[in-house]
Amino acid sequence: MPIEHELLAVNDITLSLYSAGPPLGRPVWLLHGFPECWHSWRQQIGALAEAGYRVLIPEMRGYGQSSAPPEPEAYELLTLCADIQEAMDALGQDEVCVIGHDWGAPVAWHLGLLEPERVKVLGALSVPFGGRPKRPAIDIMREANRDRFNYILYFQEPGVAERELDADIPRSLRLLLLGGSGDVFLQAKPADARLLDGMPEPHGYPEWCSAEDFAVYLRTFERGFRGPLNWYRNFTRNWQRTESLAERKIEQPSLFLLGDQDPVGKLEAYTVKRMAELVPNLEQHVLADCGHWIQNQCAEQMNSLLLDFLARHYPAAL
């Protein structure tokens, strides 16, 4: 499947964008998370393009060839949404589907809130929609993790996690991405531990990520981890800036997929259970024997569910 690449000037940054499929096909945006890249969607690109969709996969702000401003505040949620909104504008798109995984999921959910006319359907993997909390989630995390390590709290102080992860980028990425089903982030250890302490050293490459695939991920992080880590440093800003969205529901047909071995499912069990109250047109599936890297660990099953969902709510041919 031929894949095109372009650099778009949007929202005061350069956004690197990969695309495939018929130029006049209905747009499907695929938004990656951490520590991933556009190539995380490699097993969905062909399936969607062959079904007649125009597939658009950005390298999100801070990743790969996209701009990576050093300031944490440059990565607050509505700014990340605006990157995609302006890219849609630049491409003349007035009807789209948006699908996000991990950090890409909150961007997808909020694009659905911000753009109810343009975003006709949306999908999210791993991270559910819980609405705006009564106070910033980072405050709740600090209270719940006073005496134990929490990777999100560890990421808060600029420079701390960068020093650890940038010291050996290939090893850091191997441990984070290939060391399990995403559960390596949640190991029990003392509050003063570092992120990589105690993580098992992976041997070889798993079936879902070859050496060639991993090389693409690695190129994404050649500049280091600062940009991607800055996404985690805006919980308070995100909470403050989304006050106007607090009471809104996501009315579009929405697909949520979760692996049964994804640690996010345990952390967000309550949110997953009550999500249908906030997303009334929701379709949910739990994929068996699947971890956090759902697009690749369970690609065939995911593609089948996604194409079926799109055929019913966002057919390729109008």
Q: Which residues are catalytic?
A: 102, 292
Alpha carbons within 13 A on the beta-carbon side of 298: 24
> Would you give the DSSP letter of residue 193?
-
Radius of gyration from C-alpha coordinates of the chain: 18
- Closest Cα to residue 132, out of 274, 297, 246? 246
> Would you give the DSSP letter of residue 41?
G
Paired strand residues for 101: 125
- The residue with tokens 């599936």 is 285
d(CA 118, CA 133): 26
How does strand 4-10 pair with strand 13-20? antiparallel
For 4, list phi and psi in degrees, rounded to 5: -95, 160
d(CA 220, CA 306): 26
DSSP letters of 284-301? EEEETT--S-HHHHTHHH
Q: Tell me which H or E stretch contains 230.
A: helix 226-230
